[in-house]
Structure 1
Amino acid sequence: MVPEINWIAVVLATLSTMVVGSIWYTPKVFGNYWMKAAKVTPGEAKGAVIPIVVTLIVSFISAWVLAGATYLSFDFYGGSYLTNALLTALILWGGFTATRFITHDAFEGRPVGLTALNCLHELVTFMVMGLIIGLFGV
């Protein structure tokens, strides 16, 4: 079985990650804390083009996988496509993203607050992607 994927939803979900990140990491939200905890100085953003391109690519992959997994969940369980998308986003975040962040950050000795901040950012990111994918359906 090949999952049916709404590519418009995937593209919008990809772009949503940039919006969420832009808001989340602004100085007025969590940016100042993030810069301090991650030891990033405000002037270091000069070389941001490559990280932004990488972010778009990996966000597209995440949105595509989430859309495919959502379809499989919906096909198996039935019910609401939106509910399946949100639950799938939550499960994928918890089972893969959060656990990997926590593992790597523990070995790298990163502050717990930074790990929590980044994990919560990813949770919000995945839930917004799930919302978009769920609202568009297949």
Structure 2
Amino acid sequence: MEFNILALVVAAASTLVVGAIWYNPKVFGTAWMKAAEMTEEKMKGANMAKIFGLALLFAFFIAATLRALVVHQSGVFSLIEGDVEGALPSYAAFMNDYGTSFRTFKHGMLHGFITGVTMALPIIGTNALFERKSAKYIFINSGFWIVCMMLMGGIICAWE
């Protein structure tokens, strides 16, 4: 089972595309700015290269973790500690029988959705509660990550 780095890079980059749409003023951008107490003045002067670069890096970390959740064969691969040549013949037999099972975009989206709802929503929600942010803020930002994780999961699962 090879590690498809390009799938992870594309999945990570997809978050920037979704973000450009999601946080557009005609979608949720205006509502997010109000809920986040963000102003045009605060947005000016930011180092956008740093922001987008780090956002892409963080999204790559998410994609790498999401891979283990959407590609079920990752667990079997970890059992042999990555040593395909030294694995018992049962590993090859298992991979021949099940190596491509549940490797679809739709299946990856399902696991991305589950991960978004059970990981992104609670993390963002907890931070927002302590920051005294509104439910609108929680749902806009959590919704973004749920959609992103669905798309990332689909890309990773289908492209492996």
Give the TM-score normalised by the residue count of structure 2.
Answer: 0.75
Query: Is 1:80 aligned to residue 79 of structure 2?
Result: no
Aligned to 1:116: 139
More helix by share: 1
Q: Percent same amino acid at aligned positions? A: 30
Q: Give 1:135 shift.
A: 2.2
Q: Is the 8 A contact 1:16 1:128 kept in 2?
A: yes
Q: Cα gap change, 1:73/1:97 in structure 2, threshold over 3 Å: closer, same or farther?
A: farther
Question: Unpaired runs of 5+ in structure 1?
Answer: none
Aligned to 1:35: 33
Structure 1 segment 44-59 matched on structure 2, within 5 A: 44-47=43-46, 48-59=48-59
Question: Pairwise CA RMSD of aligned residues?
Answer: 2.1
Which amino acid in 2 is paired with 1:9? Answer: A
Aligned to 1:60: 60
Pick which of 80-89 and 95-104 moved more. Answer: 80-89
Pick which of 91-100 and 41-50 moved more. Answer: 41-50
Q: Cα gap change, 1:71/1:135 in structure 2, threshold over 3 Å: closer, same or farther?
A: closer
Give the TM-score normalised by the residue count of structure 1.
Answer: 0.85
Question: Unpaired runs of 5+ in structure 2?
Answer: 77-97
Q: Is the 8 A contact 1:97 1:119 kept in 2?
A: yes
Say which SS state the counterpart of residue 101 (structure 2) adopts. coil
| Mapped partners of 1:23, 1:61: distance in 2 | 22
Q: Cα gap change, 1:5/1:69 in structure 2, threshold over 3 Å: closer, same or farther?
A: farther
Structure 1 segment 121-136 matched on structure 2, within 5 A: 121-136=144-159
Look at both structures and tell me which one has the larger radius of gyration over its CA atoms: 2
Structure 1 segment 87-98 matched on structure 2, within 5 A: 87-98=110-121
Q: 1:103 aligns with which of 113, 116, 126?
A: 126
